[in-house]
Amino acid sequence: MKRQFFAAMTAVFVFLSTTAFGMDVRVIERNGDVYITGDDLPDSILIEGVVDGMVRISGRNTGPFGLWPTLINGSRSPIAVEVDGDLIVDLGEGGDDVEIRDVYLFNSLRSNITLEFGRSADSVRADNVMCSGNFKINMGSGSDVVESYGIVAREVRYLHGAGGAYFHTLDVHASRFEINTGSGDDGIYLANIFTTRLEVFLGSGNDSASLARGIEGDRYSVIDGGTGYDKRLWPVVGLQGRPARF
Protein backbone atom coordinates (compact mmCIF):
# COMPACT_ATOMS: atom_id res chain seq x y z
CA MET A 1 0.00 0.00 0.00
CA LYS A 2 2.79 2.40 0.94
CA ARG A 3 4.58 1.55 -2.27
CA GLN A 4 1.47 2.31 -4.35
CA PHE A 5 0.93 5.58 -2.48
CA PHE A 6 4.56 6.61 -3.04
CA ALA A 7 4.32 5.74 -6.74
CA ALA A 8 1.09 7.75 -7.09
CA MET A 9 2.53 10.77 -5.32
CA THR A 10 5.67 10.58 -7.47
CA ALA A 11 3.55 10.50 -10.62
CA VAL A 12 1.55 13.53 -9.46
CA PHE A 13 4.73 15.44 -8.61
CA VAL A 14 6.29 14.64 -11.98
CA PHE A 15 3.08 15.65 -13.76
CA LEU A 16 2.92 18.98 -11.94
CA SER A 17 6.63 19.55 -12.46
CA THR A 18 6.38 19.04 -16.20
CA THR A 19 3.17 20.99 -16.76
CA ALA A 20 2.02 23.64 -14.32
CA PHE A 21 5.52 24.32 -13.03
CA GLY A 22 7.36 24.15 -16.34
CA MET A 23 9.64 27.15 -16.76
CA ASP A 24 9.02 28.95 -20.02
CA VAL A 25 11.63 30.74 -22.11
CA ARG A 26 10.51 32.70 -25.16
CA VAL A 27 12.57 32.97 -28.35
CA ILE A 28 11.63 35.76 -30.75
CA GLU A 29 13.33 36.95 -33.94
CA ARG A 30 12.78 40.61 -34.83
CA ASN A 31 14.51 42.44 -37.70
CA GLY A 32 17.44 40.06 -37.60
CA ASP A 33 17.90 40.27 -33.82
CA VAL A 34 17.10 37.26 -31.64
CA TYR A 35 15.64 37.81 -28.15
CA ILE A 36 15.62 35.05 -25.53
CA THR A 37 13.57 36.01 -22.47
CA GLY A 38 12.76 34.11 -19.29
CA ASP A 39 10.21 34.29 -16.51
CA ASP A 40 10.60 34.94 -12.78
CA LEU A 41 11.27 31.27 -12.03
CA PRO A 42 14.56 29.36 -12.40
CA ASP A 43 15.41 28.76 -16.06
CA SER A 44 18.17 26.60 -17.50
CA ILE A 45 19.08 26.76 -21.17
CA LEU A 46 21.80 25.72 -23.61
CA ILE A 47 22.65 27.97 -26.56
CA GLU A 48 24.89 26.26 -29.07
CA GLY A 49 26.04 27.11 -32.54
CA VAL A 50 24.74 25.06 -35.45
CA VAL A 51 26.58 26.83 -38.27
CA ASP A 52 28.00 30.35 -38.54
CA GLY A 53 25.16 32.75 -37.75
CA MET A 54 22.69 30.15 -36.47
CA VAL A 55 22.07 28.94 -32.91
CA ARG A 56 19.98 26.22 -31.31
CA ILE A 57 18.29 26.90 -27.94
CA SER A 58 17.46 23.92 -25.72
CA GLY A 59 15.75 23.82 -22.35
CA ARG A 60 17.20 21.88 -19.45
CA ASN A 61 15.65 20.54 -16.30
CA THR A 62 15.90 22.56 -13.10
CA GLY A 63 14.18 22.85 -9.73
CA PRO A 64 14.00 20.18 -7.00
CA PHE A 65 15.61 16.90 -8.15
CA GLY A 66 15.93 18.40 -11.65
CA LEU A 67 12.30 17.55 -12.43
CA TRP A 68 11.12 20.96 -13.63
CA PRO A 69 11.75 21.37 -17.35
CA THR A 70 12.60 24.64 -19.01
CA LEU A 71 10.30 24.89 -22.01
CA ILE A 72 11.23 26.79 -25.16
CA ASN A 73 8.19 28.63 -26.52
CA GLY A 74 6.02 26.19 -24.57
CA SER A 75 7.69 23.07 -25.95
CA ARG A 76 10.34 20.61 -24.83
CA SER A 77 11.83 20.64 -28.33
CA PRO A 78 14.85 22.85 -29.08
CA ILE A 79 14.56 25.75 -31.50
CA ALA A 80 17.10 26.69 -34.17
CA VAL A 81 17.15 30.29 -35.36
CA GLU A 82 19.33 32.43 -37.60
CA VAL A 83 20.94 35.52 -36.05
CA ASP A 84 21.54 38.27 -38.59
CA GLY A 85 21.96 40.99 -35.95
CA ASP A 86 22.29 40.79 -32.17
CA LEU A 87 21.67 37.93 -29.74
CA ILE A 88 20.04 39.24 -26.54
CA VAL A 89 19.36 36.96 -23.57
CA ASP A 90 17.39 38.32 -20.58
CA LEU A 91 16.19 35.60 -18.22
CA GLY A 92 14.87 37.97 -15.56
CA GLU A 93 14.52 36.88 -11.93
CA GLY A 94 14.97 33.39 -10.56
CA GLY A 95 18.18 31.41 -10.16
CA ASP A 96 18.99 30.96 -13.84
CA ASP A 97 21.65 28.95 -15.60
CA VAL A 98 22.94 29.54 -19.13
CA GLU A 99 25.52 27.66 -21.15
CA ILE A 100 26.54 29.17 -24.49
CA ARG A 101 29.06 27.34 -26.63
CA ASP A 102 30.48 27.14 -30.15
CA VAL A 103 28.63 30.27 -31.27
CA TYR A 104 29.97 32.30 -34.21
CA LEU A 105 28.11 35.46 -35.18
CA PHE A 106 29.60 37.24 -38.18
CA ASN A 107 26.49 37.73 -40.35
CA SER A 108 26.76 41.49 -39.87
CA LEU A 109 29.65 43.89 -39.31
CA ARG A 110 28.64 44.29 -35.66
CA SER A 111 26.72 41.37 -34.15
CA ASN A 112 26.59 41.77 -30.36
CA ILE A 113 25.91 39.10 -27.74
CA THR A 114 24.35 40.24 -24.44
CA LEU A 115 23.40 38.12 -21.42
CA GLU A 116 21.32 39.80 -18.69
CA PHE A 117 20.22 38.43 -15.32
CA GLY A 118 18.24 39.58 -12.28
CA ARG A 119 18.76 39.55 -8.53
CA SER A 120 19.06 35.82 -7.81
CA ALA A 121 21.99 33.42 -7.79
CA ASP A 122 22.74 32.83 -11.48
CA SER A 123 25.46 31.03 -13.39
CA VAL A 124 26.94 31.31 -16.88
CA ARG A 125 29.35 29.13 -18.80
CA ALA A 126 30.57 30.54 -22.12
CA ASP A 127 32.83 28.33 -24.20
CA ASN A 128 34.22 29.15 -27.64
CA VAL A 129 32.09 32.20 -28.42
CA MET A 130 33.00 34.65 -31.18
CA CYS A 131 31.17 37.66 -32.59
CA SER A 132 31.88 40.67 -34.79
CA GLY A 133 30.56 43.09 -32.15
CA ASN A 134 30.67 43.17 -28.35
CA PHE A 135 30.17 40.38 -25.82
CA LYS A 136 28.62 41.45 -22.51
CA ILE A 137 27.46 39.56 -19.42
CA ASN A 138 25.52 41.53 -16.80
CA MET A 139 24.86 39.24 -13.84
CA GLY A 140 22.71 41.67 -11.87
CA SER A 141 22.88 41.03 -8.12
CA GLY A 142 23.25 37.83 -6.15
CA SER A 143 25.80 35.08 -5.58
CA ASP A 144 26.73 34.54 -9.22
CA VAL A 145 29.30 32.46 -11.07
CA VAL A 146 30.73 33.12 -14.55
CA GLU A 147 33.06 30.76 -16.37
CA SER A 148 34.31 31.73 -19.81
CA TYR A 149 36.78 30.10 -22.16
CA GLY A 150 37.78 31.23 -25.63
CA ILE A 151 35.95 34.55 -26.19
CA VAL A 152 36.67 36.69 -29.26
CA ALA A 153 34.91 40.06 -29.69
CA ARG A 154 35.54 43.77 -30.13
CA GLU A 155 34.83 44.43 -26.45
CA VAL A 156 34.23 41.96 -23.62
CA ARG A 157 32.52 43.23 -20.45
CA TYR A 158 31.54 41.28 -17.32
CA LEU A 159 29.41 43.26 -14.85
CA HIS A 160 27.97 42.47 -11.43
CA GLY A 161 26.04 44.43 -8.80
CA ALA A 162 25.67 43.53 -5.13
CA GLY A 163 26.51 40.13 -3.63
CA GLY A 164 29.50 37.85 -3.92
CA ALA A 165 30.46 36.81 -7.47
CA TYR A 166 33.18 34.64 -8.96
CA PHE A 167 34.61 35.08 -12.46
CA HIS A 168 36.89 32.43 -13.97
CA THR A 169 38.12 33.58 -17.37
CA LEU A 170 40.59 32.00 -19.78
CA ASP A 171 41.53 33.03 -23.31
CA VAL A 172 39.97 36.34 -24.27
CA HIS A 173 40.86 38.28 -27.42
CA ALA A 174 39.32 41.78 -27.49
CA SER A 175 40.30 45.40 -27.97
CA ARG A 176 38.83 46.12 -24.51
CA PHE A 177 38.26 43.76 -21.59
CA GLU A 178 36.48 44.90 -18.41
CA ILE A 179 35.39 43.19 -15.20
CA ASN A 180 33.40 45.20 -12.66
CA THR A 181 32.27 43.05 -9.74
CA GLY A 182 30.41 45.69 -7.72
CA SER A 183 29.93 45.26 -3.98
CA GLY A 184 30.36 42.05 -2.03
CA ASP A 185 33.14 39.53 -1.45
CA ASP A 186 34.15 38.67 -5.00
CA GLY A 187 36.81 36.56 -6.67
CA ILE A 188 38.35 36.61 -10.12
CA TYR A 189 40.82 34.43 -11.98
CA LEU A 190 42.19 35.66 -15.30
CA ALA A 191 44.62 33.98 -17.68
CA ASN A 192 45.53 34.45 -21.34
CA ILE A 193 43.81 37.82 -21.75
CA PHE A 194 44.95 39.58 -24.92
CA THR A 195 43.67 43.14 -25.12
CA THR A 196 44.81 46.72 -25.64
CA ARG A 197 42.67 47.97 -22.75
CA LEU A 198 42.37 45.99 -19.51
CA GLU A 199 40.07 47.28 -16.75
CA VAL A 200 39.40 45.42 -13.47
CA PHE A 201 37.23 47.02 -10.77
CA LEU A 202 36.51 44.95 -7.67
CA GLY A 203 34.44 47.52 -5.79
CA SER A 204 33.75 47.20 -2.07
CA GLY A 205 34.15 44.00 -0.09
CA ASN A 206 36.88 41.52 0.75
CA ASP A 207 37.92 40.43 -2.73
CA SER A 208 40.44 38.04 -4.23
CA ALA A 209 42.13 38.55 -7.61
CA SER A 210 44.44 36.15 -9.40
CA LEU A 211 45.92 37.35 -12.68
CA ALA A 212 47.92 34.44 -13.98
CA ARG A 213 49.88 33.91 -17.18
CA GLY A 214 49.49 35.70 -20.47
CA ILE A 215 47.82 38.95 -19.39
CA GLU A 216 48.49 41.69 -21.93
CA GLY A 217 47.17 45.21 -21.65
CA ASP A 218 49.69 46.86 -23.88
CA ARG A 219 48.16 50.34 -24.18
CA TYR A 220 46.12 50.94 -21.05
CA SER A 221 45.38 48.97 -17.92
CA VAL A 222 43.82 49.66 -14.55
CA ILE A 223 43.31 47.21 -11.69
CA ASP A 224 41.35 48.74 -8.82
CA GLY A 225 40.60 46.69 -5.73
CA GLY A 226 38.25 49.28 -4.25
CA THR A 227 37.53 49.19 -0.51
CA GLY A 228 37.86 46.24 1.84
CA TYR A 229 40.56 43.71 2.70
CA ASP A 230 41.61 42.22 -0.61
CA LYS A 231 43.99 39.45 -1.63
CA ARG A 232 45.92 39.57 -4.85
CA LEU A 233 48.15 37.16 -6.70
CA TRP A 234 49.55 37.91 -10.12
CA PRO A 235 52.90 37.21 -11.77
CA VAL A 236 52.04 39.81 -14.42
CA VAL A 237 54.58 42.18 -15.93
CA GLY A 238 54.43 44.67 -18.78
CA LEU A 239 51.02 46.18 -18.04
CA GLN A 240 50.89 49.88 -18.85
CA GLY A 241 48.67 52.58 -17.41
CA ARG A 242 47.51 53.38 -13.89
CA PRO A 243 49.05 51.04 -11.30
CA ALA A 244 47.05 48.49 -9.38
CA ARG A 245 45.38 49.76 -6.19
CA PHE A 246 44.49 47.41 -3.35
* Residue-wise pLDDT tens digits, 157-176: 999 988 889 999 999 999 99
| Average pLDDT for the chain | 84
The confidence score (pLDDT) of residue 238 equals 42
Neighbours of 109 (CB within 10 A): 7
Please provide residue 15's backbone torsions phi and psi, each rounded to the nearest 5 degrees.
-60, -45
- Amino acid occupying residue 144: D
Strands (E), 162-214: 165-173, 176-180, 187-201, 208-211
The confidence score (pLDDT) of residue 40 equals 87
Which of 174, 168, 55, 43 lies closest to 97, judged by CA?
43
Q: With 60 as the cut, is the pLDDT of residue 234 above it?
A: no
Residue 160 buriedness (CB in 10 A; 0-12 / 13-18 / 19+): buried
> Do residues 220 and 240 lie in contact, with contact meaning Cβ atoms separated by under 8 Å?
yes
Contacts 24+ apart (CB under 8 A), 209-218: 209/233, 209/234, 210/234, 211/236, 212/236, 215/190, 215/191, 215/239, 217/177, 217/193, 217/241
Percentage above 90 pLDDT, the chain: 57
| 29: confidence class by pLDDT, cuts 50, 70, 90 | very high
The confidence score (pLDDT) of residue 89 equals 98
| 204: confidence class by pLDDT, cuts 50, 70, 90 | confident
**How far is Cα 19 from Cα 27, in angstroms, rounded to an integer?**
19
Q: With 50 as the cut, is the pLDDT of residue 95 above it?
A: yes
